[in-house]
């Protein structure tokens, strides 16, 4: 079982970040829940957007996802993920996104217990155990207090253009 879920596309100066995007790593794909459950001995208990996980700012970062998978037989489960100890940073004054988290929910005689697996781990899970993957939110672009101006009924932020592309554009426009 190999799945790859990226949190979001980065926000930039003109739009908000996108939530819950899937990115392909070599040979992965996001499989429909019905096919996933038919092919593997598991139940997909939840696959949803992780509301509030994107950074706050003029253009908020995209929200991560929650993926809760229950195993019907004992399995060896591996996770390889990032942004579990360092939050995704914001740009131009935007706030950081929320940290990701990978939990092993164990079924025991005394009920459920949760173990934080960190970003990279391999564990032997029992029947009824679950892995709950909370992907990080994306960092925002621009501070929430950024000045805006109204142009033809459309809200646009005021910012100073910087960088080599802008210098090239200025040279082209002045010649």
* pLDDT at site 39: 92
CB count within 10 Å of CB 85 equals 9
Bridge-based pairing of strands 75-80 and 120-125 is antiparallel
DSSP-assigned letter for residue 87:
P
Select from 8, 4, 164, 5 the least CA-distant residue to 94: 8
Torsion of CA 35, 39, 42, 44, to 10 degrees: -10
Instruction: Return phi, psi of residue 47, to 5°.
Output: -145, 100
The answer to whether 52 and 65 have CB atoms below 8 angstroms apart is no
**pLDDT tens, residue by residue, 133-174:** 999 999 998 887 764 543 444 555 554 555 556 666 666 666
CB count within 10 Å of CB 143 equals 16
pTM for the full predicted model: 0.75
**pLDDT tens, residue by residue, 36-80:** 899 999 999 999 999 999 999 988 999 999 999 999 999 999 999
**pLDDT tens, residue by residue, 91-116:** 989 999 999 999 999 988 899 999 99
């Amino acid at each position: 079982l190999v799945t790859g879920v990226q949190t979001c596309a980065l926000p930039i100066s003109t739009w908000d970040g996108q939530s819950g995007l899937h990115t392909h790593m070599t040979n992965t794909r996001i499989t429909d829940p019905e096919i996933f459950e038919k092919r593997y001995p598991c139940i997909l208990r939840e696959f949803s957007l992780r509301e509030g996980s994107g950074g706050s700012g003029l253009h908020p970062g995209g929200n991560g996802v929650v993926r809760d998978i229950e195993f019907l037989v004992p399995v060896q489960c591996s996770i390889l993920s990032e942004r579990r100890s360092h939050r995704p940073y914001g740009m131009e004054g935007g706030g950081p996104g929320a940290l990701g988290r990978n939990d092993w929910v164990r079924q025991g005689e005394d009920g459920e217990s949760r173990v934080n697996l960190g970003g990279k781990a391999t564990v032997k899970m029992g029947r009824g155990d679950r892995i709950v993957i909370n992907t990080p939110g994306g960092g925002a672009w621009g501070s929430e207090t950024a000045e805006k101006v109204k142009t033809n009924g459309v809200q646009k932020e005021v910012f100073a253009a910087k960088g080599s592309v802008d210098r090239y554009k200025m040279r082209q426009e002045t010649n």
